[in-house]
Structure 1
Amino acid sequence: MGRVRSDSARCAAWVVTVAGTLLAALAACGSPGRGASAPEPDGRAARSGIDASDPHGVPGVGPGLRRRIPAGSGQVVAVYGEDRNSADSTVVLYTRRGEGWRRVRDWPAHNGRKGWTADHRSGDRRSPVGVYTLTDAGGVLDDPGTELPYTQDRSFAAPRWWARPYWHDFDYVIAIDYNRVRGTPPNDPRRPEGDGKGGSIWLHMDHGSGTSGCVSMSRQAMEFLLRTLDPDRRPVVVMGDRADLLSR
């Protein structure tokens, strides 16, 4: 079962001091009205456009990004964007098998409503292209049984002044380690590379359209990932539009 990090005293103090920043963090993920620590390693999947010619590499990922996947990583969440300016994408979970990768499952997903960028900036409504670790999870709902450190707290809830389809976006989230402090709750507001580089980029639940930079999926997909990702296997996300994934 997951290790629940719900130290109420710490969370209460944190909420009091950074409540305003938290709303900004939530907005970075999915607000309908707006819109790294990362560089350590920096038909879906079978549809045309995803290159599976190298049996030892993650399909559709070029050699540059492939080299940024840590040698000890045994799980890759690949996000294949339909187009550089599209909000539609496909998420595929791969696990390492010998020298190659086995496709486990795939799901339809959404990314930034304006598409993708290799130079993500706060408010650009594009998702960052790259390879990022996945170390921390949380959400409004109880831990579904993840091995990732999980913070359950009502402070994740989307504001009720957002449109109703967005209210459950953060019932489950997995932090993408882009411009954040790894080993902290996903809604920790600190941004080591500065606010201008954006942050609060998460995997979270879907509201049926593009996000402000996060990647969103169904509740079933999020529950599967939470129950499957194993910190001992050093999971990472490899994300971008198909053209950039192949060319980098």
Structure 2
Amino acid sequence: MRISGTLRSVFVVTALAVTLSSCGGGADQGGGDRHDRRAKAPEKPSASPTENLERIPGVGDRLQKQIPGDSRQVVAVYGKGEDSAQSEVALFSKHGATWDRDRTWSAHNGKKGWTADHHEGDKRSPVGVFTLTDAGGVLADPGAKLPYTRSSGFAAPRYWPKTHWNDFDLVIAIDYNRVKGTSPNDPTRPEGQSKGGSIWLHMDHGSGTSGCVSLSKQGMEYLLRTLDPARHPVIVMGDRDRLES
């Protein structure tokens, strides 16, 4: 079936609008330079503040049981409150039968807080446990172990405030309503558009997001260089009350 130029333009514009309505960048898939890269491990950080943990702290049985048994890396996002945009991100690594806290960063989440039933445009971050499989951004690959797609399609629209223009320079896709193994800016949403999508870890602009989790450039670089597909990384995220429930 041949598709007219008019219809094709409608499809492209629709995909772009859907992706930008969450934290995602542009829907341009054509210019991406996608590859697997196994970089040398970063230097070991200074002594962990908490070591030899039997489980991820601050996470109750309900979500703890959802962490896959083969996961050896967990990014935990501790939201300050159900309606707060402030949070803390901590990276935990498993060695043998116990977990060590690696590093911790200040962060932001959805500007209206958190929800266990995320929908398009609600400005809240989804609560849950999600895998981390793909990365990308406007900037060159900083040494990511996750497959990394560099593309100008990640660039934030220039009608956004200038403080937000670098949000998607570095991105890690959170596998909420997306297809694993694709670029983070792939607009496909298996559970439908109303469930939202394009939920990412990305660079911080100093305030709440449309649903993503944001942290410093240094934090993003560290996560990209540390998260390893062979260790099956996941993210556990939510406000503290629901994390502990």
Q: TM-score range by the shorter chain?
A: 0.7 to 0.9
User: C-alpha distance in 2, partners of 1:69/1:168?
Assistant: 31
Counterpart of 2:217 (choices 216, 219, 232) is 219
Which amino acid counterpart does residue 164 of structure 2 have in structure 1?
Answer: Y
User: C-alpha distance in 1, partners of 2:86/2:117?
Assistant: 19
What is the percent sequence identity of the aligned residues?
64
User: C-alpha distance in 1, partners of 2:143/2:192?
Assistant: 33
2:142: which partner in 1?
144
SS in 2 for 1:138: strand
Which amino acid counterpart does residue 89 of structure 1 have in structure 2?
Answer: S
**Offset of 1:147 from its aligned partner?**
1.1
Are the aligned partners of 1:129 and 1:239 in contact in 2 as well (CA < 8 Å)?
A: yes
User: C-alpha distance in 2, partners of 1:117/1:225?
Assistant: 25
Which amino acid counterpart does residue 29 of structure 1 have in structure 2?
Answer: C
**Offset of 1:20 from its aligned partner?**
4.0
SS in 2 for 1:220: helix
**Offset of 1:55 from its aligned partner?**
3.4
**Offset of 1:21 from its aligned partner?**
1.7
| 1:65 aligns to 2:59 (yes or no) | no
2:105: which partner in 1?
107
Listed as ranges, the gaps of 5+ residues in structure 2 are 1-8, 26-47
| 1:116 aligns to 2:110 (yes or no) | no
2:205: which partner in 1?
207
Matches of residues 104-183 of structure 1 in structure 2 within 5 Å?
104-183=102-181
**Offset of 1:26 from its aligned partner?**
2.8
**Offset of 1:64 from its aligned partner?**
1.1
1:40: which partner in 2?
none
1:27: which partner in 2?
21
SS in 2 for 1:222: helix
Which amino acid counterpart does residue 107 of structure 2 have in structure 1?
Answer: A
SS in 2 for 1:60: coil
Normalised to the residue count of structure 1, the TM-score between the two structures is 0.82
Are the aligned partners of 1:138 and 1:186 in contact in 2 as well (CA < 8 Å)?
A: yes
Are the aligned partners of 1:30 and 1:169 in contact in 2 as well (CA < 8 Å)?
A: no
2:12: which partner in 1?
18
2:79: which partner in 1?
81
Number of residue pairs aligned between Structure 1 and Structure 2: 215
Are the aligned partners of 2:138 and 2:151 in contact in 1 as well (CA < 8 Å)?
A: yes
CA RMSD, Structure 1 to Structure 2 (Å): 2.1
Are the aligned partners of 1:110 and 1:216 in contact in 2 as well (CA < 8 Å)?
A: yes
User: C-alpha distance in 1, partners of 2:190/2:101?
Assistant: 34
SS in 2 for 1:29: coil
SS in 2 for 1:93: strand
Are the aligned partners of 1:89 and 1:108 in contact in 2 as well (CA < 8 Å)?
A: yes
Listed as ranges, the gaps of 5+ residues in structure 1 are 1-14, 32-44, 47-51
Are the aligned partners of 1:30 and 1:212 in contact in 2 as well (CA < 8 Å)?
A: no
Distance 1:82 1:30, change over 3 A: farther
**Offset of 1:16 from its aligned partner?**
10
User: C-alpha distance in 1, partners of 2:219/2:111?
Assistant: 20
| 1:195 aligns to 2:193 (yes or no) | yes
SS in 1 for 2:218: helix
Structure 1 residue ranges, 4+ long, deviating more than 6 angstroms after superposition: none
User: C-alpha distance in 2, partners of 1:211/1:68?
Assistant: 25
**Offset of 1:70 from its aligned partner?**
0.6
SS in 2 for 1:244: helix
